[in-house]
């Protein structure tokens, strides 16, 4: 059954790395999704800029973000279209918040509201614009020079085609679906609305994702679906970790199941496949035991001709293998 089940998964791009996952899946109550790269494509693009001097803003932001690997950073670098980058000194990454560094004698801070608050940079007239960008689902980066804001950059990341339908099917099957992200509440809500996910846990620092999973595990078994370097601890912590195969190697290494295609329909299929496989295993166990419990005493009592007994033994194995193969016909 396991061989047939894994084979069926493999055909659909579902790689089951840990066999136990098949058994655990039937107990799952809650499915938690990372946002960026899991529900969304993870290739954000700059879609809105608000600044008095857009060229200077992009030149500063592009030079800074060149030093960061974050997807939003890449979007900004691409948009800035710089041929020559400014010199950045003392560059540092503030995980889950943004970046800081010096250009000339100015201190540049780029990141979210939390980073601005931490540096006592007031948002002033930008506040309303930020809310507008975020309500459209754009992750908004604030660019500040010393304590003064130069402008804001809105980055949007489109939802994957199949995310909506996958989440709908999971909701219909009665699972509790949750989205978790380092992004803020407004952006998270906007994306959650597009995919009709019930619950949102926003503003989670990278190192806290696995803690949130642990809390959710108090009310039942949890699947976590993620793609990023940040997601590896949560993938390990969850009862079943499903890694997006188009994501980072570190996430793939941490997953119990890997979805080679990156589509969330794979989550629905993994759950259905695991249930079907496990049911077949149970049926096989029943028939194998039942058969032997009845037939062995008969044989001992001398009521069965040894040749017939031999045949019956073979038939028992064939029935189990046949039943396992019937699994192939199941719709997942």
Binding stretches for ligand ADP (CB under 6 A): 35-36, 65, 68, 70, 72-73, 96-99, 110-112, 139, 141, 181-183, 206, 228
Quick note: the x/- pattern for Mg ion over 17-56, rule CB under 5 A, is: -----------------x-xx-------------------
The site partner of 188 among Mg ion, ligand ADP, none (C-beta below 5 to 8 Å per kind) is: none
The site partner of 98 among Mg ion, ligand ADP, none (C-beta below 5 to 8 Å per kind) is: ligand ADP
If the CB atoms of residues 145 and 227 are measured against Mg ion, the closer one turns out to be 227
Q: Cβ of residue 251: shortest distance to ligand ADP, in angstroms?
A: 12
* CA separation for the pair 23, 251 (Å, rounded): 22
Q: Interface with Mg ion includes 111 (CB under 5 A)?
A: no
DSSP H helices, the chain, are 2-11, 20-24, 54-65, 71-80, 113-118, 126-135, 163-172, 185-195, 209-216, 232-237, 249-254, 265-300, 306-326
The site partner of 1 among ligand ADP, Mg ion, none (C-beta below 5 to 8 Å per kind) is: none
* CA separation for the pair 206, 234 (Å, rounded): 10
Sign of the Cα torsion 157, 69, 52, 128 reads positive
Phi, then psi, of 21 in degrees rounded to 5? -55, -40
Sign of the Cα torsion 165, 171, 172, 174 reads positive
Piece in contact with Mg ion (CB under 5 A), picked from 82-90, 186-194, 228-236, 319-327 = 228-236
If the CB atoms of residues 25 and 99 are measured against ligand ADP, the closer one turns out to be 99
> How far from 205 is each of 71, 125, 302, CA to CA, in Å?
16, 27, 71
Q: Cβ of residue 97: shortest distance to ligand ADP, in angstroms?
A: 5
Starting at the earlier edge strand, list the strands of the sheet with 240-244. 14-16, 257-259, 240-244, 221-226, 28-34, 176-180, 199-201
If the CB atoms of residues 250 and 304 are measured against Mg ion, the closer one turns out to be 250
If the CB atoms of residues 109 and 263 are measured against ligand ADP, the closer one turns out to be 109
Q: Which residue lies nearest ligand ADP, judged by its C-beta?
A: 182
* CA separation for the pair 37, 44 (Å, rounded): 9
Phi, then psi, of 244 in degrees rounded to 5? -80, 120
If the CB atoms of residues 112 and 248 are measured against ligand ADP, the closer one turns out to be 112
The site partner of 212 among ligand ADP, Mg ion, none (C-beta below 5 to 8 Å per kind) is: none
If the CB atoms of residues 228 and 245 are measured against ligand ADP, the closer one turns out to be 228
Q: Cβ of residue 209: shortest distance to ligand ADP, in angstroms?
A: 8
Active site residues: 34
Starting at the earlier edge strand, list the strands of the sheet with 89-94. 45-51, 148-156, 139-145, 106-111, 98-103, 89-94
Q: How many residues bind Mg ion (CB under 5 A)?
A: 5
If the CB atoms of residues 181 and 277 are measured against ligand ADP, the closer one turns out to be 181
The site partner of 30 among Mg ion, ligand ADP, none (C-beta below 5 to 8 Å per kind) is: none
Phi, then psi, of 298 in degrees rounded to 5? -60, -45
- HSE-up (13 A, CA, CB side) for residue 279: 12
Q: Cβ of residue 36: shortest distance to Mg ion, in angstroms?
A: 4
Question: Where on the phi/psi map is residue 13: left (φ > 0), alpha (ψ -120 to 50), or beta?
Answer: left
DSSP 8-state code for residue 244: E
Q: Cβ of residue 248: shortest distance to ligand ADP, in angstroms?
A: 11
Q: Cβ of residue 37: shortest distance to Mg ion, in angstroms?
A: 4
Q: Interface with Mg ion includes 228 (CB under 5 A)?
A: yes
The site partner of 274 among ligand ADP, Mg ion, none (C-beta below 5 to 8 Å per kind) is: none
* CA separation for the pair 39, 187 (Å, rounded): 13
- Residues that bind Mg ion in the complex, under the rule CB under 5 A: 34, 36-37, 227-228
């Amino acid at each position: 059954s396991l061989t047939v089940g894994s084979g069926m998964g493999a055909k659909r791009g579902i790689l089951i790395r840990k066999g136990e996952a098949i058994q655990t899946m039937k107990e799952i109550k809650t499915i938690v999704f990372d946002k960026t790269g899991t529900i969304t494509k993870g290739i954000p693009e700059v879609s809105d800029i608000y600044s008095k001097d857009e060229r200077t803003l992009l030149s500063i932001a592009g030079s800074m973000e060149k030093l960061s690997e974050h997807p939003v950073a890449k979007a900004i670098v691409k948009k800035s279209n710089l041929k020559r980058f400014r010199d950045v000194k003392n560059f540092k990454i503030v995980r889950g918040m943004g970046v800081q560094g010096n250009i000339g004698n100015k201190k540049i801070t780029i990141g979210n509201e939390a980073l601005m608050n931490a540096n006592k940079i007031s948002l002033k007239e930008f506040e309303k614009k930020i809310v507008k960008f975020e309500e459209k689902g754009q992750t908004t980066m604030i660019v500040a020079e010393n304590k003064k804001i130069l402008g804001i950059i809105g980055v949007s990341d489109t939802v994957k085609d199949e995310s909506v339908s996958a989440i709908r099917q999971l909701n219909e099957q009665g699972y509790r679906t949750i989205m978790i992200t380092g992004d803020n509440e407004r952006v998270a809500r906007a994306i959650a609305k597009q995919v009709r996910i019930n619950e949102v846990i926003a503003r989670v620092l990278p190192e806290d994702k696995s803690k949130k999973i642990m809390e959710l595990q108090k009310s039942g078994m949890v699947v976590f679906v993620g793609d990023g370097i940040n997601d590896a601890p949560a993938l390990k912590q969850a009862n079943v970790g499903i890694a997006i195969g188009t994501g980072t190697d570190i996430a793939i290494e941490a997953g119990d199941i890997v979805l080679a295609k990156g589509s969330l329909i794979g989550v629905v299929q993994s759950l259905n496949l695991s249930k079907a496989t496990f049911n077949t295993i149970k049926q096989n166990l029943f028939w194998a035991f039942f058969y032997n419990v009845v037939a062995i005493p008969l044989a001992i009592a001398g009521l069965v001709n040894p040749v017939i007994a031999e045949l019956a033994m073979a038939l028992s194995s064939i029935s189990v293998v046949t039943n396992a193969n019937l699994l192939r016909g199941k719709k997942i």
